[in-house]
Structure 1
Amino acid sequence: MSDDEPQDGDGVQEPEPEPEQSADLDAIEADLETFATDIEALENDLEEAETEDDLDVVEADLDEFRTELESVEIPDPPETDEEDEDDEDDEPAREEELQDTYDDIESDLSDLESDLEDQRGPYGEDVVSEIDGVSGTITGTRWTFEGDEELIEATDAFLADVNGLLGTSLELPSGLEPASGAELGEKGDEEGNVPEKLDEALDEATAAVENADLDADDDAETIAGLLEATDDFESEVDDATEWTDLEVREQLRREGFYDVLDHIKDFPPEWHALKVHEKRGNVEQILLAYDSLDSDFMEKHCLEALERMGPEEAIDTMVQKAGRRDEHAISILGKIGVASDEVVDALVDYVDSNPALQKPSFRALGELGAEDAVEPLAQQLAADDADVRSWAARALGMIGDTRTIDPLADVLADDEEDRVRASAAWALNQIGTADALEIVAEYDDDRAYLVQAEAENADLEPVA
């Protein structure tokens, strides 16, 4: 081995950088120093910019600056041995220092670009956007009677501000009267509906702003005045009285829930009103009480009323409640008797559940005559729980699908529990075809009295 060859061990020295590489790094360092100086000048230009045209010039300079900066390519630092990585005395490679400088310049450039955007405008489009936002709040919120009055007053004042700034003649719709709650339902299209009519008036305001063709430089004072007026308008709308600001009983009063009461017979008065509404068939008022009153007592009585009435208007509410594993809601869906996909799907979810939910679900599906539930119900004829098998058989009988005759006949012949066999016999009688009735009639001397009774009830003249 010659003396010129590198030796292994601690005495090995890192090779000096090649002259060409060193020259490249020197050139990059010089470029970055120039960039650092230039960005300070750009910062001064932005501070001195007064018009949109000035800002356009600065923006073009920033775009050019970024293009030139991104053209700089800093080589990766040389790899180091793992033993050297933990050496605190090692200085960072020159490439790392240059990359840090580059990152600082790029960060300053991003800040300048953001500052430039902040310095632009405001524009007429900003006023339009703010008005649209307030209008959306007005139409997207439920207001009280007082809230309607406050909105009318606030909008009237805002339109006056716009007229003063733009020389327009905007005004509120004629005959605008506040109404909410039960009063709204009593008014025709020409009265009430304050939010919708105010929205129309605000559409005219935004059109006026757009037609003014405001210039960010020449009309800066007008734009600032419009934005200030819009901010004040937004604050007044935010302070207007929303429906949710009312206490629950006040909401019910305004909805007319207590109007049916000449006197208070039962306590609480909500219970008395609920009874009257049930008697009169006022489903909406019962659903209102159910949704509004945070009372287990009133919820129970609302559900009982709905179960007795079986109104289709309650389907959506009961499907939602059934989805929360509520047995009472499941039963009510059966009483309503509408076998929509939404209802059947909600009930079928509990066919293979726990017995507490299976029992009302099976019965409800039977009451609905839900043929889509036949297969999952038939599978429950083999359940371990005898009660579940019995409920499933009765549900299938209520549905009356002839496809279930054979599986029900098997249950009647083979099930170990007589009460399950009796349910299967009852189901076959409910199906009522000749085949079903003949099967049941053969058990007239069965060991179980309940099965014998079903056999005796089998009418061999099948149902048409």
Structure 2
Amino acid sequence: MSNGDDEPAEAAEEADAADQADTDEPEATTPTLPDEATEESLTEYLDEIETALEDAGTEAALDDVEALLDDAEDALAGADLPEPDEDDEDADDPRGDLEDRIAELREGLEDARGPYAEDVVEAIEASVSTLEDTEWTAEGHEDAADAVEAFVDAAAEAVDDGVDADAIETDPDAADGENVDDDDTDAGDTDDEGGADGGAGADDEAGTDDDGVAVLVAALDAVAAGIADAELDPDEDAETLADLLAATDALEEGLEDAEEWDDLETHEQLRAQGYYDVLGHYKDYPVEWAALKEHEAQGNVDMILLALDSLQSDFMERHCLEAFERMGKRGKTEASLEELLGRAGKRDRFAIRILGKMAAEEAVETLLEYVDEDSNPQLQKATFKALGEIGDGDAVGPLAEKLAMENDHVRPLAARALGLIGDTRAIDPLADAIAEDDSDDVRAAAGWALRQIGTREALEAVAEYADERSFVVQTEAEKARAALDAAATPA
């Protein structure tokens, strides 16, 4: 049985043991910059910095890690490291590997910092922009107000000495209440049908939206100001800042889920016309894109046009047009032609390309107008290829004349377009091109085109260049010679 005199002794022994344990723990060492910057020494130095980054628990410690990375970068810049063999794609690149390692550590450093009060304020400002830039439905406005109110309450709970929820107005109706005097209401203002004169209901809803948004924006501004004034420290108040960022995420989600007028009108139109009926389980987002893929697979041209007309976004426009390009002739209808011809009439190269894939003869008249657009070679390239794919003989003369144009990059496309059309009237101008053009690319394209035409005359015009110095021209000539030999050999 111990007496009271033993207790001080036991306490002293426990303290000594704790001191001994602290002494036994290895102290964290500061990475030391190597005297000689070699691949091995810099790698070891970066390993030490990585350990320091993992152990850093404060912004000051992270600042120290950043300084160490700066030193490592300076040392690497002055290091005499072997250069990789440019002819060997698999050769080691010590400098590049170390630069990548430093960049990776810097990314880890940035990820470890914060969060900061500025991050929270920036997120609040983004939500303010969403509120101001969006036209809400009545139901959506209520949902947005609920999201703001929940955020204000969460912010007040996190920063109880900086945000006073009771002092911040979040009720959108409060704005209307300040402007409406019940005593001024005149029951005689109703018309014979029992409705308010002038459609007051619609005006009231619009007023509630405008004034109510101002109330919500003021509430968020008040919270942002309170957070800024609270001077939250990223180390001491890390938990509070994390809670605030979680609250801003919830606010953003609430605003995203709230109903907008544009969303309602567009989605209702699409739903009423069966646009979403093809969807079962889907993985792609947004759902409009998922439905678009199904309509493309099923050849539902009208639904793709509906999406193109209704969903006014660059994202969906691009995917609708790409769907038509992949569908090619399957996507050709009177309605789709009208849409694409309208775009082609405005020099839209994407639409021109699609009309070629559709082999749309209806586009030839429009496309021929662009053949002589020498100042717009990109438009010419799209036009020539489309005309070749359409294959209309009316394009032979205009395209043949472009074999003499100055642009070396466009002439080959004129030659190839003539080959795709396959009209024998192109044999002479193509033969002249392979004989006289200064560009081997143009000559090879002319040879290819003559092979596509495929008559004996066309093949002979190419085959005579089998001993040509240019490999690409020689290749076309050898293929033409082989075709002639095959035709001459009895079956």
TM-score normalized by structure 1?
0.46
TM-score normalized by structure 2?
0.43
Select the structure of larger CA radius of gyration.
1
